[in-house]
Amino acid sequence: MIRITLPDGTAREVARGTTPADIAAAIGPGLAKAAIAARVDGELRDITRPLDADAQLALVTSRDEADALELARHDFAHILAEAVQGLFPGTQITFGPSTDDGFYYDVMAPASRGPFTMDDLPAIEEKMRAIIAADKPLRREVMARDALIATWQNAGESFKAEWAAELPEGEELSVYWSGNDWMDMCRGPHLTSTGKLDPAAFKLTRVAGAYWRGDQNNPQLSRIYGTGWLNKKQLDAHLLRLEEAAKRDHRRLGQDMDLFHLQQEAHGSVFWHPNGYLIWRELEAYMRRAIDGAGYKEVKTPQVMDARQWEQSGHWGKYRANMFVIPDEVPNVDDEGPVISGEADWMALKPMNCPAHVLIFRQGIKSYRDLPLRIYENGCCHRNEPHGALHGLMRVRQFTQDDAHIFCREDQIVEEVQAFCALADRVYKEFGFTYSIKLALRPDQRFGSDADWDKAENELRDAVVRAGLATPEFGWEELPGEGAFYAPKLEWHLTDAIGRTWQVGTIQSDRVLPERLDASYVGEDGARHRPVMLHRAIFGSYERFIGILIEHYAGRFPVWLAPVQAVVATITSEADGYAHDVTAKLKAAGIRVESDTRNEKINYKVREHSVAKVPHLLVVGMREAEEGKVAIRSLGSDGQRIMTLDEAIAMLSHEATPPDIR
């Protein structure tokens, strides 16, 4: 007999080999029906897997949503694989986990046909529904590793065989049978049968390439994605969320709101239109106030430097593949012959600002009294990113960082990092973001001694601990292996209005670059010392941050950031004169305002400016003109507020003032 303890503390003596399903049945028929899996000593397991020792047991039902979704998605993935093999014999299966909103399965299409495409999805979905309708039992079986490898090899499943062969020798491996005709190697757990899934709760969404084991050098497989839920209602809600997210897409809003454009002759670099650049200018002004107040000095450094300088900084060796290089010569102007000789020295566009800031630091002799020295630049950088990585404003080839480097003594690091935490906190809150902080620890490939890494990691961790931010509610987490090759990183991950996260801010403590570029200061002792260099950014880049803001606000910018803050719209042309007066007064008060005296109906104007997401529409007709008032209709509300022009100016001026100086 074994002793099974339930969550309420009661215990039952049952025979070895009893299953959680048996226990559920013994407790009551309702639970027996509702239970879909079990947690045995905290581990999620099949409800039909026999218990073989004393254990804590919790029965899982669909009310335990996270567990239930995990199980369902995992099952959907298996059924997807079974369906694909059923429809396309010769397809090899590899690996198919659950994801945040569903599942995918990586398969290798048979050589007789090309990779799978979207056109294949309806048939696969139909087949999956047939498998669910057949209510095939899902049965766990333990196999010896060697037997399993042989099974895979006989079935022509070379990926599975390769994988099984790499699992520890002698280990027992579990497989799951779907009925008696299909099986997959899997740790489980699964539901008891395919019929437990709701056939209306999933949808295959797309097909894409993915490398076997995530390695570019391996064969590329077809990855079939699906979204999967417990019921149709959840699925529909999810599809609606996707639609909402698509409506916020910054590429679409950027075009609709005439903020910027991209075109193929300059792919990966942004053409900022007047409206978009107004947002940029507001952010720049905001950031300048922030860094001025925090004791930074702003600089501007060269866009192009000699390759030898990049050799010395280490970028030429490590980063050249992503750099734009330029021959330092006058191009051949004859029509005959090559444009360049190929013999000139190379220069390169800067991919980052750090070396230039060290060069400024090195001018003149620095004393310990000069430290910490905080050098800031709106630094325009170019990186030749892989083409497939480019994405709207989020990943571009030319971008401007709000970049600063703090040169300081070792004993100043913690204080500086803490001050940065406070500054970042203020900025992110003023834009309405919540955030989490993560510490990216040393990667496998790195410069510097373990002792230095210990020190650097501890400094960053200490600073966050002292700032009181290293807590679960700030999402504190340490990420092994994710640091840069020269330094650990603190990363700020923002959560936007619809719950997506974006990594933007960072601070890194670097002892490598000051060494390579020979930066030093004279200490109290009269000797030369190496400063530590803190790399830091809050927006990350203006391009990306604006992209995030567009999606965060869904284009409805707060008034201080809105490119056009108000439009004065007339009802009849008789009010044109008054409208121009109102516009002039608002302009004089510093409001970005336009007047709309076009020969159009007010309905049309209301619609157009609403769609354009103008925060305030000031409607004026003869009534307003006679009384010296305006009727304000604000974005997001249907009603209007009648107020005097002075009241309107006061309100708009307040809203148009950036939050940091309000």
Partner RNA sequence: GCUGCUGUAGCUCAGUGGUAGAGCGCGUCAUUGGUAAUGACGAGGUCGGGAGUUCAAUCCUCCCCAGCAGCACCA
Could you give the residue numbers annotated as active site?
Answer: 354, 383, 401, 403, 405, 489, 535
φ, ψ (nearest 5 deg) of residue 295: 80, 30
- Which of 191/440 has CB closer to RNA? 440
Sheet with 477-479, edge to edge strand ranges:
297-298, 373-382, 398-408, 532-537, 501-510, 489-495, 434-440, 477-479
- Cβ of residue 573: shortest distance to RNA, in angstroms? 3
- Give the SS3 label for residue 478: strand
Any idea which residue has 């606000």 for tokens? 553
- Which of 18/595 has CB closer to RNA? 595
- Cβ of residue 648: shortest distance to RNA, in angstroms? 12
- Which of 573/644 has CB closer to RNA? 573
Measured CA to CA in angstroms, residue 253 lies from 90, 501, 546, 560, 639 at distances of 45, 19, 12, 18, 25
- Which of 210/490 has CB closer to RNA? 210
Among 341, 367, 471, 573, binds RNA (CB under 7 A): 573
For position 177 contacting RNA by CB under 7 A, the verdict is: no
- Cβ of residue 643: shortest distance to RNA, in angstroms? 11
The residues, ordered by sequence, that sit 6+ positions from 647 with a Cβ below 8 Å of its Cβ are none
For RNA (CB under 7 A), the number of binding residues is: 69
- Cβ of residue 463: shortest distance to RNA, in angstroms? 21
Taking CB under 7 A as the rule, which mask of x and - marks residues 216-245 in contact with RNA?
Answer: x---x-xx-x--------------------
Strands (E), 441-537: 477-479, 489-495, 501-510, 521-522, 528-529, 532-537
Q: Report the site for RNA in 344-403 (rule: CB under 7 A).
A: 351-352, 354, 385-392, 395
Please count the other Cβ atoms lying within 10 Å of the Cβ belonging to residue 278: 19
Q: Give me the helix-helix angle, 542-553 and 274-293, nearest 10°.
A: 110
Q: Report the site for RNA in 411-450 (rule: CB under 7 A).
A: 443, 445
Please count the other Cβ atoms lying within 10 Å of the Cβ belonging to residue 288: 15
φ, ψ (nearest 5 deg) of residue 566: -155, 150
Among 59, 549, 633, 652, binds RNA (CB under 7 A): 633
Are 573 and 605 spatial neighbours (Cβ–Cβ below 8 Å)? no
Q: Report the site for RNA in 266-285 (rule: CB under 7 A).
A: 267-268
Binding range to RNA, per CB under 7 A, among 11-19, 128-136, 210-218, 555-563: 210-218
φ, ψ (nearest 5 deg) of residue 198: -85, 115
Measure the CA–CA gap between 372 and 408, rounded to whole angstroms: 4
Q: Report the site for RNA in 486-505 (rule: CB under 7 A).
A: 486
Are 35 and 20 spatial neighbours (Cβ–Cβ below 8 Å)? yes
- Cβ of residue 188: shortest distance to RNA, in angstroms? 24
- Cβ of residue 447: shortest distance to RNA, in angstroms? 9
Among 206, 500, 528, 662, binds RNA (CB under 7 A): 206
Q: Where are the alpha helices (DSSP H) in 196-321?
A: 232-247, 250-256, 274-293, 307-313, 315-319
- Which of 141/600 has CB closer to RNA? 600
Among 574, 577, 644, 657, binds RNA (CB under 7 A): 574
Measure the CA–CA gap between 278 and 563, rounded to whole angstroms: 6
- Which of 57/441 has CB closer to RNA? 441
Among 581, 640, 659, 660, binds RNA (CB under 7 A): 640
Beta bridge partners of 117: none
- Which of 58/323 has CB closer to RNA? 323
For 343-392, the three-class secondary structure string (H helix, E strand, C coil) is: CCCEEEECCCCHHHHHHHHHCCCEEHHHCCEEEEEEEEEECCCCHHHCEC
For position 479 contacting RNA by CB under 7 A, the verdict is: no
Are 158 and 92 spatial neighbours (Cβ–Cβ below 8 Å)? yes
For residue 421 the two structure tokens come to 């935490």
Q: Report the site for RNA in 593-622 (rule: CB under 7 A).
A: 599-604, 606-607, 610-611, 617, 619-622
- Cβ of residue 582: shortest distance to RNA, in angstroms? 13
- Cβ of residue 512: shortest distance to RNA, in angstroms? 9
Residues that bind RNA (CB under 7 A): 114-115, 117-118, 206-211, 214-216, 220, 222-223, 225, 251, 255, 262, 264, 267-268, 318-319, 322, 351-352, 354, 385-392, 395, 443, 445, 484-486, 571-574, 599-604, 606-607, 610-611, 617, 619-624, 631, 633, 635, 638, 640
